[in-house]
Every structure is written in C-alpha cells, then in structure tokens.
Amino acid sequence: MARYWWQCLSCGERPSWPAVCRSRSVAAFIWDELAPSGWDQRLLLRKCQCNRRSLRITYRFRGSDPERLSVKHIVGLTPHDGYLPMLWETFRHSAPSRRWVDFKYQRGRSPWGLTKRLVLERRELARLLRAYERATGAAVAPGGAKRTITGFWRRSAKTSL
C-alpha cells in the first residue's frame, strides 16, 4: 500500500497530516476537504514552516522505489454511492517539468482503490476531463490532435514566407 505524506519541495520538511489540514490521511483529505471544496486546487499547495507555499502531497512511485512523486492536481467526479473516480496529475522529483496523469479511485474514505486500476465509462472519462479543465483552467490535451496539426502547418507556412 502506497503511503502519502506532505512534503515541502523547498526545504524537505515532512509535517504530519493534522499539522497541514483537518484530515489524517490522503483519502480522508480528498473525501472531507478537497471534493466538498469543488476541487479547489489551492488546497493541494500549502504553506510550510519555512514560509514558502511549497508543501505538496508526496508518495513513492512504487512501495520500494526510491523515486518520489508529488501531486500537482487532483480532480474528481461527484461521488456516486461513495465511488469517487479521479485524475491525478503528478511529477517525479527527478524530472519536475514532465507531467504524469494517473487515474485513481477511492470508496468513501478508503484508500484501497488508489493503487487499483480505474475503468471508466467513456462518458465518465469525458466528464472527468471537463472537470479537470474547470478546476485547473487548462485542458489535459489542449486543442486536440487536429488543431495541433493545423497549427503546425500554419506555422510552417509562415516561416516559409
């Protein structure tokens, strides 16, 4: 079972869950604070005792793996019968500019599904991507493939003039 903690990306401090928020675990934090806030992404970046706003939820890629990841965004759907599908955007500490997208779920305050495979109905995936866009102000895949190709040709045309 993966463990999740708050870690300051400036000074390395690892304060306890209750020192940062009102919850004692990641699943409780998501269920009791993040989801009810309407997925307010500011709750994922907290102030450290070093005075910098650089505390993020952090975990290991795999249990025994030394590689650490921190959470940039967590967005989910409105829970249905306690079932909460989510999209996590993360980065590895070794390459912070590369972003990873991880689909996870939890049932109520149980973290069990956080390490399990998430299977979504296609329309739920569309809803999840729209929820991400609303919460972060950016699309997961901006423009889509078609527009990217058009943009590429437009740029190529400009440079050839």
Alpha helices by DSSP H, the chain: 17-20, 26-29, 122-136, 144-160
Structure tokens at 26: 């990641």
Nearest distance in Å: CB 18, Zn ion: 17
Q: Which residues bind Zn ion (CB under 5 A)?
A: 8, 10-11, 13, 48, 50
Nearest distance in Å: CB 8, Zn ion: 3
Q: Which DSSP letter does residue 16 get?
A: -
Please identify, using beta-carbon distances, which residue of 15 and 108 lies nearer to Zn ion: 15
Nearest distance in Å: CB 46, Zn ion: 10
Please identify, using beta-carbon distances, which residue of 34 and 48 lies nearer to Zn ion: 48
Residue 16 and residue 147: Cα distance in Å, rounded?
Answer: 45
Which positions ≥6 away from 48 have C-beta within 8 Å?
Answer: 8, 10, 11, 13, 15, 54, 55
Nearest distance in Å: CB 52, Zn ion: 5
User: What's the number of CA atoms in the CB half-sphere (13 Å) around residue 97?
Assistant: 0
Which positions ≥6 away from 38 have C-beta within 8 Å?
Answer: 135
Please identify, using beta-carbon distances, which residue of 25 and 54 lies nearer to Zn ion: 54
Q: How many residues does the chain have?
A: 161
Please identify, using beta-carbon distances, which residue of 8 and 86 lies nearer to Zn ion: 8
Nearest distance in Å: CB 39, Zn ion: 25
Please identify, using beta-carbon distances, which residue of 19 and 50 lies nearer to Zn ion: 50
